[in-house]
Every structure is written in structure tokens, then in C-alpha cells.
Amino acid sequence: MKPTSSRTSQLAFLALFLVLFVQTEYRGRDEINAAVNAFFRADPLVFFSYLLAAKTWTWLLLPAVLMAVTTLLLGRFFCGWICPLGTVLDLVTPKSRTRRPIAALKGNLKYWLLLPILAAALFNLNLAGLLDPMAILLRGVTFFLYPLLGLGAREGWVGLYHLLGERRDAIAPAYELLHAHLLPFRETLYPLAAFSALVLLAIIVLEQFEERNWCRNLCPLGTLLGLLGRFSLFRRIPAGLCGDCGKCRELCPTTFDRDLLAKEECILCMECQLHCPHQRISFRLAAGRGNAGPFLPERRVLLGSVATGLLLAIPARFRPPEKGERLLRPPGVRDEAEFLNKCVRCGECMKVCLKNALYPAAWQAGMEGLYTPLVVPRLGYCEYNCTLCGQVCPTGAIPKLPAGAKQREVIGKAVLDKNHCLPFAKRIDCMVCEEHCPIPSKAIRTREVEVLGLDGVRKKVREPYVVEDICNGCGICENACPLETKAGIEVFGVKNRAPIAEATGGGA
């Protein structure tokens, strides 16, 4: 079948999403000029949840405002022409199968997802990123599929090298090209990778029961766009069936409600117009609300959703007290509450982190911090000259800073554990943390002291100490500590994240 214009658009935007995804990676450059965050900046759900939670405006989300205004004029076209997850669902759905609607997903369930999210945002709890379709797709690809692709490509190439023997040098440039432009820059295993993949898989499985099941019955972004689309002047004529053939009802991916296509459900795919055997269907601007139908949800759903959002905000903020001291955020994040109100939990910052410092939070930051980025120094560290995470953050939750300003931002402060640190515990010299510290004048220094060795003989040992005033908590000292288990020096969070005075020079 010849592709419809909507299918061509879908494939083009999915290709754009994947191209930007691959480009949102360290490719030997300090600047990322085009990133997949463009999709989030055009996401009205991200915009409204940000506006309600942060109580402020950012020009970064201007494309989302334009998308909302365009939806008011044209209807819910984003879902049928642009949404990458919707395109994936269309590609994996066998069109010849008979759908078996799931009764439990019908009715007001989609409003019970969207409205509590917006209500919780009003009470300063921004959870929209957990159910945003683009965030779900991006996390599934970032945390699971992309690392799997990198691992498979590397293992496959090793096998190919063994197979070719001495002739393997002839294909080495091909792998270098692949690594430079397509594969992940580094190998990483992410927490919540399996869970992210399962969520994406569950949405695809739902598609086997009913076409666009997620989009019509669950997706909070689709529900929001549908509500905006009710006011559109662009609509299908006729609004319902024009005869007995019922061909358009069979083709419609969001299905007719009885014999009428509800305006807020129509994703403007125009399959009905393309395949109408009588050529009676058209989409055009027309005055009036047309087939908008009665407004849903009912009052009880509205009130219940607001109450749910309020009640959700209470347990979601619970955080084990002992976790807070190791809750390290990316550089530039100074206020935890403000960060949580802005973060969309997309995972882009973790993907571009040059030295594997950032990982998604599971329960370290409570329910409200799920999927938000954490610095885990034992697994990686914040590269002194890197500013990539701030460049790709779609909402500015991680501020975009020049290198000099970023180097002054405080993540935490390093603290020596004298029960483990070798000069204190074993009475032997170790200067690894001092040697690796990127601060030009060294935030970790050593001094020679006379101590009683474990053998009872007095000896001179160089003991490290931390200069807190210039430590930015990058974590390289903890990462480089030669102890195999618990490090002899660890980075702990601090309440005062005011920038340090020293700013220039240095490098890991």
C-alpha cells in the first residue's frame, strides 16, 4: 500500500528522533548542537507540569506553547503525525488482526492519570516525566536497547576479528566509523534498565488487544492534547458514519464511539479519507465545535483527581534520612526542590555523561525522585571540563553553564574515612586522591607526619587532608581510590551549594 502523508510524516519524525538520539552522545566535541531534547521542549505535558510545579516560565519550552496553540487550531495531530512512540506502536501492530478492547481501560481512566499528575504538579510534585510517552520511549532506548546494541556490536566485531585472522586490519576503519557515529561512547549498565524496558514492552503488548490502546486509554500527553483538540476548528466531515459500509470505523486507529468519531480522540491520521470507497470524507476548517460531544471527565473525576494529586504529594516526598547525605545531584543544581519540580526524568544527562557519573535514582530520593539523575562517584566522576549534561537538559533543571562557571559548582564535599584510608588505617603512603584532584591548587593535599607503624616502629607517612573551601565534590577521588570495596574517601552532600571561588585550569 502506498504510504499516506501521515505515515510518511510519522516515519520522518521517528527517523529524526533516532538521529537526534544518536547525536545526543559524546562524539569528541565539547558542544552538542542538536539533541533529542527538542522533542521534550515541544511537549505540552512537560510544559504544563513545569509551569504548575516550578511556578515560573522558561523560554526553553516555547516550542511546547506553539504545539499547544497549534493543537487548539488543528486538533490532536501530534499523535497521528509526530509522536515517536505512536509511530512505534503503529509499526508493531498487525493491521489485519481483530481488536479485543479491554473494558477495564475504557471510560475515565486516562483522566485519572492526567489530572492527578497536573494536580500533584500544582502541589509542587512534578511526576509527569514518569508517564510522558517520549520519556518512556527514551528511557527504554537509553537504559536498555542502546547499551545492548553497543554490547552486541562490540562482541560481534570481536568474533568477526577472530574469524578473519590476519585480514582483520582491513575492516578496522569500518568499526572506527561505526563507533564514531552510531555506537555508545562507553559501556554502561544502568539501574532500572530492565524496568524501563518492561514498561515500554507493556505498552507494546497492550497494542495487541486494541490498536492505539495506550494512546486512547492511558497516555496523559494524548489526553491533554485531546482536551485541547476539542476546541479545534479543523474537523472531519461527516463526523460519523455516512452509510452502512463502516469502512472508516474499521480503519480508525482510535475507533468510533458508537457511530460518531469523538473529536478529542481523532488523531488526524486521515486513513478514513484515503480509503473511503465513496470519497465522501474530508477534513477542513469549519465553524462551531462540531462533534466535540459532552465534556468529560465528570465533576467527581475532577475533584477526585485533585484530591489524589494532593494525597500523592505526601508519601511521594518521603525519603529515608540516611539517603540524603549521599544524594548528589549534577553540577549546577543548588536547590533540590526546584530541581525536582523541573526535571522531566528523560535520562539524556545520563546518556551524555562523559565519565559515567550519572545514574537514574531508584528509591534513594524517594518516589518523587524516581529516575532523576544521581552522581555515583564510586562508578564514575564528573569530568572537570565537561558541560554536556547542562546542554541536553530540556527544561534547564541542570543549568547550561560555561566550563569556568561549571567548575565552581559544588556537587558535595569529599570526606576522608580514616578507618579505611590507607595512610591512616595501614600507615602507608598513598597519594592517589591528591594526584587525581582536578582543582588547580588541589582540594586534596598531603602532609608528612610521624606515626607509629603497625609493626611498632615510628615512621613518616604522607597523610591526605581535604581543603573544603575549594572542593567541588566531583568524585574523582572516590572513584580513583585503590581500595576495592568501600573507598577511603567519599563525597557527601551539603546544604550550602554555593560556588567555590577557584575556577580556572586543571583537568582530570
Strand partners, 260: 240, 257
pLDDT at 300 over 80: no
Letter string b/e over residues 67-81, b meaning 16 or more CB atoms within 10 A of that residue's CB: bbebbeebbbbbbbb
d(CA 226, CA 251): 19
pTM exceeds 0.85 for this model: yes
Place of cell 488523531: 267
Nearest to 354 by CA among 25, 34, 18: 25
Q: What's the Cα-to-Cα distance from 339 to each of 57, 365, 492, rounded to whole Å?
A: 14, 12, 18
Q: Which pLDDT belongs to residue 456?
A: 83
Question: Residue 421: what residue type?
Answer: C
Q: Which pLDDT belongs to residue 3?
A: 46
Q: Average pLDDT over the chain, rounded to whole?
A: 86
Given pLDDT bands bounded at 50, 70 and 90, which one contains residue 55? very high
| DSSP notation for 336-371 | HHHHHHH-----HHHHH-TTS-EEE-SSTT-GGGTT
- Highest mean predicted confidence (pLDDT) among 25-34, 101-110, 235-244, 394-403: 394-403
pLDDT at 39 over 60: yes
Question: What is the rounded average pLDDT of the residues 326-345?
Answer: 93
Q: Which pLDDT belongs to residue 96?
A: 46
Residues 6+ apart with CB under 8 A from 358: 330, 349, 350, 373, 374, 375, 376, 380, 389
Q: Rounded to 5 degrees, what are φ and ψ at 399?
A: -65, 145
Question: What pLDDT digit, counting tens, does each position of 436-477 carry?
Answer: 999 999 999 999 998 888 888 899 999 999 999 999 999 999
Q: Which pLDDT belongs to residue 428?
A: 93
Q: Rounded to 5 degrees, what are φ and ψ at 378?
A: -70, -20
- Which one is predicted more confidently, 388 or 301? 388
pLDDT at 479 over 90: yes
Q: Which three cell numbers stand for residue 374?
A: 544521581
Letter string b/e over residues 148-174, b meaning 16 or more CB atoms within 10 A of that residue's CB: eebeebbeebeeeeeeeeeeeeeeeee
Q: Which three cell numbers stand for residue 457?
A: 616502629
> Do 273 and 253 meet the contact criterion of CB atoms below 8 Å apart?
no
Phi-psi category of residue 473: left, alpha or beta, with phi > 0 → left and psi -120 to 50 → alpha = left
Strand partners, 416: 489
Q: Which pLDDT belongs to residue 354?
A: 93
Residues 6+ apart with CB under 8 A from 237: 281, 282, 283, 284, 286
Q: Which three cell numbers stand for residue 478?
A: 572516590
- Which one is predicted more confidently, 131 or 109? 131
Question: What is the rounded average pLDDT of the residues 469-493?
Answer: 94
> Do 449 and 456 meet the contact criterion of CB atoms below 8 Å apart?
no
Strand partners, 285: 234
Question: What pLDDT digit, counting tens, does each position of 199-213 carry?
Answer: 999 999 998 888 888
Q: Which pLDDT belongs to residue 83?
A: 96
Q: Which three cell numbers stand for residue 456?
A: 611498632
- Which one is predicted more confidently, 280 or 125? 125
Question: What is the rounded average pLDDT of the residues 54-62?
Answer: 94
Q: Which pLDDT belongs to residue 481?
A: 96
d(CA 63, CA 56): 16
State CA 140 to chain mean position distance: 9
Q: Which pLDDT belongs to residue 283?
A: 83
pLDDT at 358 over 80: yes
